[in-house]
Amino acid sequence: MSIEEMLLEAGCEGAAYFTDPDYKTAIIGTSHDGRCVYSYEKMVEFLMTDEGGGMSEEDARDWISYNTERTIPYMGSRAPVIVYDVLM
């Protein structure tokens, strides 16, 4: 199932999502206002797999910081949300 199909099934028509890479395995749900929600740690894990490019952990974190997080302000009001784990 594609990300778009998953979001439509969840009632989130028009929600923006990442496409290159798609971080499909990092999607953890949707927000109350219909935005796609990603886990930061799962995004890192995705980039470290062969499907995501086989990066080192440091390179994956740098990639997300430079190439993904910086795109969010340009994605409009339905932009994806990235959730960060709280370390306790």
User: Which of 58, 65, 45, 46 lies closest to 3, judged by CA?
Assistant: 46
Domain that includes residue 77, residue range: 3-83
pLDDT tens for each residue of the chain, 88 residues long: 888 888 888 888 888 889 989 999 999 988 888 899 999 999 999 999 988 789 999 999 999 999 999 999 999 999 999 999 887 6
In-domain check, residue 88: no
In-domain check, residue 17: yes
User: Would you state the structure tokens that stand for residue 36, as one six-digit string?
Assistant: 């796609």
How far from each other are the two terminal CA atoms of the chain, in whole angstroms? 35
Residue 59 has what pLDDT?
A: 96
User: Which of 68, 59, 78 lies closest to 26, judged by CA?
Assistant: 68
How many structural domains compose the chain?
1
In-domain check, residue 8: yes
Give the amino acid at 22: D
